[in-house]
Amino acid sequence: MAAPWRHCWRRYYYAAVTGTCRPCVTPAGLLAAPPAVISLLFSYFRWKPRLLLGRCRWTHQDAKLRDPFSLAQKDLKDLYEDIRKELLVSRAELKALCDYYFDGKGKAFRPMIVVLMARACNVHGDRDGDLLPGQRSVAMISEMIHTASLVHDDVIDGSDKRRGKTTINEVWGERKAILAGDFILSAASMALARIGNNAVVSVLSQVVEDLVRGEFMQLGSKENENERFKHYLEKTFKKTASLIANSCKAVSILVNADPEVHEIAFQYGRNVGIAFQLVDDVLDFTSCASLLGKPSAADLRLGLATGPVLFACQQFPELHAMIMRRFSSSGDVDRAWSYVLQSDGVEQTSYLAQRYCQEAVRQISRLRPSPERDALIQLTQLVLTRDK
Amino acid sequence: MWSRLALSRTLRSLSLFSSPSPSNWSKVVSDAEKIVGYPTSFMSLRCLLSDELSNVAMQVRKLVGTKHPLLNTARGFVYDSKNNLQMRGLVVLLMSKAAGPSSSASESLLPDMVSGIYPSQRSLAEITELIHTAFLVHRGIVNLKEWTNADGPLKDMQFGNKMAVLSGDFLLANACTGLAQLNNTKVVELISSAIGDLVQGIYYESSSTAEDNADFTLASWENQTFLSHGALLAKSCQAAMELAKHDKESQTLAYQYGKHLSLGHKLNSDLQPFVRGSEGELVPFSLDSAPVMFHRHAVGLERWQQQLQQARSMGRQTDYSKLCSTIKKEKGVSQAMDLCGYHGNKALEVIKCFPASEARSALENIACAVAKF
């Protein structure tokens, strides 16, 4: 626990955002926090939502900043081509399904973080920055696991559009879509094994388990408001952040034996990952349909109460009943939508995302300076300001 | 169109759970279980008792009264789990025991063995079962566009699919973390490739009924069936050798045993409707099953379609006993039986390369039972 000179709420708040530092595999320290913490969290946001908006103060001004995308570019060249080579299928139709989303049009957001983290860790470990082959594999595997889970999610949610394309389930049917997802996962698992490092295998296998558990968590909701928020953040970690956190950890393991560095990499990924999803949940309310590649309020339509709704529920208790019935009565989606926009749920969720990014920056700043480290710092701003 | 699909699905799940010559098979399996100590799959049990799957079990009740295949699969776990569901795990355990510790294994590892099997080999056996079960579940995903309202409300089917995707994924995820704990990246790679094989096999297993099937050969049937029914067991047997640090040669033998046993087992279950004749009414059989495929290949597509037409002439339902006797007149059935005997013998031949032991005898008995009718 933090030093006693801090105000009580600050200390709780700190614990909530950083998670328990040790043991380093603990996915979400937040889970250990008593319910009171969450309500303190709530009241803190209730009163000071806008005070700290503005540029993150930890950004290093002296380092020459390079756009993370262009900095990662050289390592991500041919990424999708290499992934398609991993998907060894003899027959044409299944091959077409497996390759479908690896068309080079994705953002490759996860591989970008992974290669930047890899180079930052390499420099920190007194090497030149260059990627090790295993680190490059982790970047590929992270995109493969992510895609496999998207393919399954689209079946579960009955989605017909993804990244502006018709989904696999819509074109080929649900059964083949599930099998294609399973195949991509098996290919990722083979590539993972070929790195030849047991610790790395174990760290990335954890991701697969987290993804499924997160999906299960999404099925249920909690009656109690504090429980519900905790449940939401834990689900967010498992469904989104675990992949980023553990991929970052994996590349650090490949170059550095120091558990403290692994923990820095993990915590950076965890905090950026949660912030990324919080922003995604905000965009579901604020972005117009064409930008995000899916209809707005998609989460509400799926019965999911995300950050903005949970915050809005404090101002408009009418939302509680709707959350519990998963917005299933007619008119629920529209009413919930307007309550959210009337509340400051969107601002508060953005603010929470900002705090997670600050923590990510604090973590990564413990690494030795490098262009890649600073790009990772800059990336947190891009996560917060993205509009699609 | 749909009724044929529904039937082939029901048949698939039936053939997955039905056992060759029940009495004999049960005895061979239960005798074998005694040899490996405790056969119960703890990892599967842990999964079944997890919050996630108990949740699914609660939800599956909603599917009662619908035609979602998940219902049948779930029923299979409860009613028919005795001798077949864990057959793969059992073979892996017996194979581990038959091979024993390798000569290069350090003495210090020996006390870890329970009933002559390393803990990692026990985990592997459980992982094999988890993967097998995961794909029983994922096989039963339904294409919603092929569903009509007469089959039940679309909402229920969507829900059934959701449960099937999630529970299959959950089992697979547990297999992944279980594999990682084995701390052997060669085994992770081997079993992951088996998952890939299984997917490819399942993906194309029902497409063989497609009318344009001119390129069907015995070899293509074997390749296809190896992927869908043999690769997992073959590679798990090989992996069990790798975990005990046995050499490449033992690994190949174990792989061959698993491969031939699975092919024999598949042929045997496919043949049941054609050899059981005396036991009263005929169960409908799958048009994908080996005897039918061989028959079609032998008589040619045109005659086969005529025969199929004749069997359907009485109303829309296929008269399976008529179709069965038509098929029996040609050589499809005997071809399948010969092939079954061949694979049973191959398995037997391979297992004899291991030193004589109780476990080896059990594996021999299993290989014999597979070729008996």
Q: Please identify every stretch of chain B with a pLDDT value under 70, giving residue numbers as ranges.
A: 1-26, 37-49, 65, 74-85, 104-111, 150-152, 206-215, 277-282, 314-316
ipTM of the complex: 0.85
* Whole-number pLDDT of residue A79: 94
* Whole-number pLDDT of residue A80: 94
Report d(CA B113, CA B300) in Å as an integer.
Answer: 55
Q: Please identify every stretch of chain A with a pLDDT value under 50, giving residue numbers as ranges.
A: 1-64
Contact residues, chain A, for B141 at CB < 8 Å: 155, 174-175, 178
Determine contact, residues B37/B90, Cβ cutoff 8 Å.
Answer: no
Contact residues, chain A, for B173 at CB < 8 Å: 208-209, 211-213
Smallest CA–CA distance, residue B196 to chain A, in Å, is 5
Query: Searching chain B, which residue's CA lies closest to the CA of residue A181?
Result: B199
- Secondary element (H or E) of residue B51: helix B51-60
Query: Which of B145, B162, B189 is closest, CB to CB, to A190?
Result: B189
Q: Residue B169 and residue A152: Cβ atoms within 8 Å?
A: yes
Query: Searching chain B, which residue's CA lies closest to the CA of residue A148?
Result: B169
* Whole-number pLDDT of residue A16: 44
Q: Which of B137, B179, B192, B193 to mutate to test the interface with A (most CBs of A within 10 A)?
A: B192
Cα angle B182, A24, A360; round to 5: 130
User: B285 exposed, middle or buried (CB, 10 Å; 0-12, 13-18, 19+)?
Assistant: buried
Smallest CA–CA distance, residue A213 to chain B, in Å, is 8
* Whole-number pLDDT of residue A223: 77
Report d(CA A143, CA B224) in Å as an integer.
Answer: 30
Query: Which of B55, B144, B199 is closest, CB to CB, to A174?
Result: B144
Contact residues, chain A, for B188 at CB < 8 Å: 189, 192-193, 201
Q: Which of A149, A153, A178, A184 to mutate to test the interface with B (most CBs of B within 10 A)?
A: A178
Q: Strand, helix or coil at B333?
A: helix
Q: How many structural domains comprise chain B?
A: 1
> Which residue is it, tokens 């953002």?
A107
* Whole-number pLDDT of residue B41: 53
> Which residue is it, tokens 């919930």?
A336
> pLDDT tens across B327-339, in order?
888 888 999 999 9
Query: Searching chain B, which residue's CA lies closest to the CA of residue A159?
Result: B158
Q: How far is CA A4 from the centre of its chain?
A: 32
* Whole-number pLDDT of residue B343: 97
Q: Which amino acid is at A338?
A: S
Q: Residue B176 and residue A189: Cβ atoms within 8 Å?
A: yes
* Whole-number pLDDT of residue B345: 96
Q: Residue A189 and residue B181: Cβ atoms within 8 Å?
A: no
> pLDDT tens across A9-53, in order?
333 334 444 443 333 333 333 433 444 444 444 444 443 333 333
Q: What's the CATH number of domain A64-385, 3.40.50.300, 3.40.50.150, 3.40.50.10860, 1.10.600.10?
A: 1.10.600.10
* Whole-number pLDDT of residue B77: 62
Residue (of B367, B373, B361) closest to B344 by Cα position: B367
Smallest CA–CA distance, residue B362 to chain A, in Å, is 32
Q: Which residues of B245-281 are buried (b: 16+ CB within 10 A; e: fewer)?
A: bbeeebbebbbbbbbbbbbbbbbbbbbbbbbeeeeee
**Chain A 79-118, CB below 8 Å of chain B: which residues?**
88-91, 93-94
Query: Searching chain A, which residue's CA lies closest to the CA of residue B155?
Result: A158
> pLDDT tens across B117-145, in order?
899 999 999 899 899 989 988 988 888 88
Q: Which of A183, A231, A246 to mutate to test the interface with B (most CBs of B within 10 A)?
A: A183
- DSSP-assigned states of every residue in B109-124: GGGG-BTTB-HHHHHH
Residue count of chain B, please give it.
373
Which residues, at least 6 apart from A217, have a Cβ–Cβ distance to it below 8 Å? A231, A234, A235, A238, A239
Contact residues, chain B, for A201 at CB < 8 Å: 179-180, 185, 188
* Whole-number pLDDT of residue B59: 74
* Whole-number pLDDT of residue B22: 52
Cis check: omega of the bond before A23, within 30 degrees of 0: yes
Q: Residue B180 and residue A155: Cβ atoms within 8 Å?
A: no
Q: Residue B169 and residue A176: Cβ atoms within 8 Å?
A: no
Query: Which of B138, B166, B181 is closest, CB to CB, to A156?
Result: B166
Smallest CA–CA distance, residue B278 to chain A, in Å, is 38
Give the domain range for residue B45.
Answer: 2-370
Query: Which of A186, A202, A216 is closest, CB to CB, to B180?
Result: A202
Q: Which residues of A86-113 are buried (b: 16+ CB within 10 A; e: fewer)?
A: bbebeeeebbebbbbbbeeebebbbbbb
Q: Residue A175 and residue B192: Cβ atoms within 8 Å?
A: no
* Whole-number pLDDT of residue B18: 42
* Whole-number pLDDT of residue A60: 41
Residue (of A225, A219, A227, A356) closest to A279 by Cα position: A356
What HEC string does chain A produce?
CCCCCCCHHHHHHHHHHHCCCCCCCCCCHHHHCCHHHHHHHHHHHHHCCCCCCCCCCCCCCCCCCCCHHHHHHHHHCCHHHHHHHHCCCCCHHHHHHHHCCCCCCCCCHHHHHHHHHHHHHHHHCCCCCCCCHHHHHHHHHHHHHHHHHHHHHHHHHCCCEECCEECHHHHHCHHHHHHHHHHHHHHHHHHHHHHCCHHHHHHHHHHHHHHHHHHHHCCCCCCCHHHHHHHHHHHHHHHHHHHHHHHHHHHHHHHCCCHHHHHHHHHHHHHHHHHHHHHHHHHHHHCCHHHHCCCCCHHHHCCCCCHHHHHHHHHCCHHHHHHHCCCCCCCHHHHHHHHHHHCCHHHHHHHHHHHHHHHHHHHHCCCCCCHHHHHHHHHHHHHHHCCC
Report d(CA B119, CA A170) in Å as an integer.
Answer: 44
User: B65 exposed, middle or buried (CB, 10 Å; 0-12, 13-18, 19+)?
Assistant: exposed
> pLDDT tens across B219-269, in order?
888 898 999 999 999 999 999 999 999 999 999 999 999 999 999 999 998
B73 touches chain A (CB under 8 A): no
* Whole-number pLDDT of residue A107: 86
**Chain A 205-264, CB below 8 Å of chain B: which residues?**
205-206, 208-209, 211-213, 215-216, 219-220
**Chain B 173-202, CB below 8 Å of chain A: which residues?**
173-174, 176-177, 179-181, 183-186, 188-189, 192-193, 195-196, 199-200, 202
